[in-house]
Structure 1
Amino acid sequence: MGFTQQEIIRIREQSYQMERKGELTPEALKYIYDKKLFHLFVADDLEGNMTPLPQAIRIFQECARIDGSFGWLVTIGSGGGYFVPFMTDETARSVFARPDAVIAGSGAVTGTARRVDGGYIVNGRWKYCSGSMFATTFTANTLLERQRSDAGQEPQIVTIIMRPDQVRIEKDWNPFGLKATGSHSIVVTDAFVPDEMTFSFTEMRSHEDELLYKYPFLPFAQTSFAGVAMGLADHFLEAAEAYLQARGNESVLAELEEQIEEFAHQKDAFYRVLDKSWEELGQKGKLTPEMEQRISIECITVAKASLGCGLRLFPLLGLSACMEDTEINRVWRDLQTACQHALLRG
């Protein structure tokens, strides 16, 4: 799976427009739908495009290299496929089995659920729901409201699945990078969510044999975001090279070449561990705690190296690189924003 040079150029031609409007263009979304990029982790029998994790991370890297917001949304949108095995087959089919199916939501427990006959009444507000403007389904974590009889029991988290008509989008995403991700807050007021539209990460209900769903969630998420960081750094280095060559700045070009070589070694080290973890999962059916820790460390290391590409080079590019409508400036802002994610900061 890949993009032609013509497709890359066409998507990049829309980058400024997407940033200005704060959302992907219909054409960029169509590329995602046509290539089934939101379905990389959805089982094939649900009209998915199930992809081994190491291959998917390389796809995320390439998408982010093309455009930061484009790559971030492909990564976040496809990540919702990880929820498939925690749903019944019927629920998973209703959520995923359509060409434009994609989940937006939040893992933060910033909502409440009150038990009623047949389900829950849900209220809450969740921040940073990337892809909210085109999501076909929303998921969120809620805290179950306690009854008197629950005194002394541990708080219970209920993960809910909601339709777009149950959700109000607050357009409050106003960052200086990744502007087109539409990572707005969502608000839910007195929505009824039936039992079948809830799930727990401790109970697999379908597709238990799919290898991807056996990969632990934390390293799964970290490797996904690391792919975005690497792709953004690739784009930054590419844009910096074109910028410096146009100005004939030989001394900084030499430093750029050194940075490109160092970063290539960091990426190779990351993929060696990722590929080994996938091989271990296939052989043993699970990752050892040592491998989980190792892949987490590699994700944080390569994310720091990605950000370091910009930290080292951007101050050497001159005042014109500070203009927000330039490619180098946009990519630098996207890179900084992506690397602020808590899972990449250690």
Structure 2
Amino acid sequence: MSGAWQDAAALDSAAEAAGHGAADADTTGRLAPATVEALAAAGFPAGFAPAGQGGTGATFDEVTRAVAAIGEGCTSAAWIASLWAYNGRFSAHLPDEGQQEVWAKGPRTRLVSSMVAAGVEAEPVEGGWTLSGTWLYVSGVEFADWALVSSAPPREGDRSIRVFAVPRDSFTHQETWSTLGMRATGSHTLVVERAFVPEYRSFVWDDMRRGKLPGTGSAVHSAPLFAVNGLTFAAPILGAARGALRLVERHLAQQPSGARAAARESSRISYTRAAGEIDAAALLLARAAETADRGRLDEDGVAERSHRDSTLAVELLVGAVDRLFQVTGTRGQATSHPMQRIWRDVHAAGSHAALQFEPAARFAYTRRLVAA
């Protein structure tokens, strides 16, 4: 599997724009319009979109590599790129009429999502529902065209929980995202007030969890959610860790003096260990992506292993960045130095619920063993 992106030049341009605007994005708390447009032009929204709606047929491996390339310059931009792709994958669970409406403006349509529902009312009416409520942590809501939101916090096996597709003119947002890291994801609160959602713009959340489509679909669209959800959030962290590694390479290339000279050997060892940890994490994520691309997630224990691998990879990446942060010392802590931003971003991103190793071990990977 080559992992080559369909438009390498556009991907390079997006990575350059993301890296160039990363410091300002961190300061202002939002991505520059030029970065947003470059990510869309690179094809992230269409990567996993349904084939009949302009989807480009990207694989999990290709998206993981492309997102990581963006993440080397800006973790927040990579987060948005990844979510655009994976939200496009979610849209494949809509009935055909709903897919056509969501993607009517073309393959650069920007989808956001949130299953963190608060105070939602979905009142059944003729032909659909009247929807009201708020949803937390909607990354990219400021420049979204459509939103996919749930009727309640999802519970495994609960067939009553639905996901609704809501257009831009039916929702607003409240600026509630102000964090230590990942500051430019714009993960604000989305608000809907009595919007009509037709039946064809909704699907059962548990079908998405299991990878059950309304019709036939590719391995990408039929993958169970928990088996690939970790890739969504781990790929930006992989890119960020590689960006930190490059910073330390430049740091070590400078000839030290005084106390720094005495610590040089220790720094080289830390750098080497971090490089190995990052490579190991990349291999774990590559296996998870390749397994899903080959449609092997229905084999016994494989989906659970992929979930485990994504969380373990993130633990390795966070540890590697911690190690690299120490190597840069006081210089890396300066507000003008990109290392401290990467360190903040990686810790913030690594705290995502989908990336926690303990639940992956207790409730997924070992559950089948206990059941036996």
TM-score for the superposition, normalised by structure 1: 0.88
Inter-partner Cα distance in structure 2 for 1:103 and 1:335:
24
Give the aligned residue type for 1:185: T
Structure 2: gaps spanning 5 or more residues: 358-372
Cα deviations by residue, 1:319-345 (Å, 9 ceiling, x for unpaired): 232223321111111111110111111
Letter aligned with residue 78 of structure 1: A
Alignment partner, residue 337 of structure 1: 348
Aligned mate of 1:267, from 282, 286, 289: 282
User: 1:123 is matched by which residue type in structure 2?
Assistant: S
C-alpha distance in 1 between matches for 2:159 and 2:276: 50
1:285-300 matches, cutoff 5 A: 286-300=297-311
Deviation at 1:310, TM superposition (A): 1.9
Structure 1 CA distance for aligned equivalents of residues 149 and 285 of structure 2:
31
Q: Distance in 2 between matches of 1:159 and 1:7?
A: 31
Comparing 327-336 with 43-52, which one deviates more in the overlay?
43-52
Q: 2:318 aligns with which of 289, 303, 307?
A: 307
**CA deviation string 1:178-217 (max 9, x = no partner):** 11111101112222222222212426334x2322112111
Distance 1:56 1:5, change over 3 A: closer
**Partners of 1:272 and 1:199 in 2: CA distance:** 30
1:144-155 equivalences under 5 Å are: none
Aligned AA for 1:218?
Answer: F
CA contact (8 A) 1:104 1:131 kept: yes
Q: Secondary structure at 2:116's aligned position in 1?
A: strand
The two structures, once aligned, show a CA RMSD in angstroms of 2.3
Q: 1:69 to 1:276 in 2, by over 3 A?
A: same
Residue 245 and residue 210 in structure 1: after superposition, are their counterparts in 2 closer, same or farther (change >3 A)?
same
After superposition, what is the alpha-carbon deviation per residue over 1:151-179, rounded to whole angstroms, capped at 9, x for unaligned? xxx78212111112221200111011111
Aligned residues: 332
1: distance between equivalents of 2:320 and 2:249?
A: 12
The match for 2:69 is: 62
User: How much does 1:297 deviate?
Assistant: 1.2
- 1:192 paired residue among 179, 193, 196: 196
Tell me how far apart the structure 2 counterparts of residues 104 and 279 of structure 1 sit (CA, whole Å): 27
Distance 2:43 2:29 in 1: 23
1:220 aligns with 2:231: no
Alpha-carbon deviation of 1:70?
Answer: 0.9
3-state SS in 1 of match to 2:165:
strand
Secondary structure of 1:233's counterpart equals: helix
Q: Distance in 2 between matches of 1:38 and 1:22?
A: 22
Aligned partner (choices 242, 248, 253) of residue 245 of structure 1? 253
Classify 1:84/1:222 alpha carbon distance in 2 versus 1 (closer, same or farther; 3 Å).
same
> What secondary structure is seen at the aligned counterpart in 2 of 1:271?
helix
Match of residue 139 from structure 1: 148
Q: State the SS of the aligned residue for 2:298.
A: coil
Q: What is the aligned counterpart of 2:183 among 179, 182, 186?
A: 179
More off after superposition, 133-142 vs 246-255 = 246-255
Residue 163 (structure 2) aligns with: 159
| 1:255 aligns to 2:262 (yes or no) | no
Asked whether the equivalents of residues 141 and 158 of structure 1 are also in contact (C-alpha less than 8 Å), the reply is: yes
Partners of 2:117 and 2:136 within 8 A in 1: no
After superposing the two structures, state which structure 1 stretch, 176-185 or 87-96, moved more: 87-96
Q: Distance in 2 between matches of 1:20 and 1:55?
A: 30
* CA deviation after TM superposition for structure 1 residue 85, in Å: 2.8
Is 1:169 matched with 2:173?
Answer: yes
